[in-house]
Homo-oligomer: A and B are copies of this chain.
Amino acid sequence: MTKKEAILKAAQEAFGQLGFTAATVKDVAGRADVSFGLVSHYFGSKQDLFLAAGFDMADRLICSLAEATAESPDGLTSIRQYMSAYFAFTDEQRDRFPILLRCSPFSHMEPGIDAVKVAEKFSAFIDELKRCVSQGIEDGSIRTLPVEETALIIYGNIVGSVRTSLLTPYKSEGIFSETINHVIRSLKNGPDQDGC
């Protein structure tokens, strides 16, 4: 691992744990075991480093999600696989995932960070979900629902459970799989409450 890569990983850790403002460049340098001057040398300002750290994580997750939903029989299964892949990724990256909770339009952008760039990057997550929902409604696996809101609600559901799992002391073993069930139950087309 090059020193540049070490700095990026350390930044993901530090920003994830402490947030943009509270994390310090010296702290990042210390975690990466390099001098703090090298951080500026490679990444410029603290803001630039924050975005680099967040976008690196986002890009890898986007990749992982795209793979997961690539070959699905139907939209509802795509949603299930999207969520499974999302939760699997957070579990694998427990130490450094929180940077994505920070560098996200669903969090308060800390002062000095370019919120527009972040929102653009994250629209990929929502767009992918919208694609799955649309597909599901078309193929009949998902009931008729407003696509935009539903995608946002599902994403909120995912992030809510990730936050519960990574941040709170209310942790619960089965929360990820229960969240998938919760969403699937809500979306699934089928004999309705007023039905039979």
Contact = CB atoms under 8 A, between A and B. Distances in A.
Given A157-B157, A185-B186, A110 B172 contact: no
A108 B119 contact: no
A21 interface: yes
Contact of A191 (B178, B185, B193): B193
A68 interface: no
A64 interface: no
Contacts of A1: none
A106 interface: yes
Nearest to A98: B108
Interface in A144-196: 145-146, 148-150, 152-153, 155-161, 163-164, 167-170, 172, 174-175, 178-179, 182-183, 185-186, 188, 190-193, 195-196
A33 to B, nearest CB: 21
Given A153-B157, A167-B105, A172 B186 contact: no
Interface in A98-151: 98, 101-102, 105-108, 110-111, 115, 119, 123, 126, 145-146, 148-150
A152 B105 CA distance: 22
Nearest to A109: B167
18 contacts: A19-B108, A21-B21, A107-B163, A107-B167, A148-B172, A149-B178, A150-B178, A150-B182, A152-B161, A153-B160, A153-B161, A153-B164, A153-B179, A153-B182, A156-B164, A159-B163, A191-B191, A191-B193
Given A105-B168, A156-B163, 20 more contacts: A18-B111, A22-B111, A107-B167, A149-B172, A152-B164, A152-B175, A153-B157, A153-B161, A155-B160, A155-B164, A156-B156, A156-B157, A182-B186, A185-B186, A186-B186, A188-B193, A191-B192, A191-B193, A191-B196, A196-B196
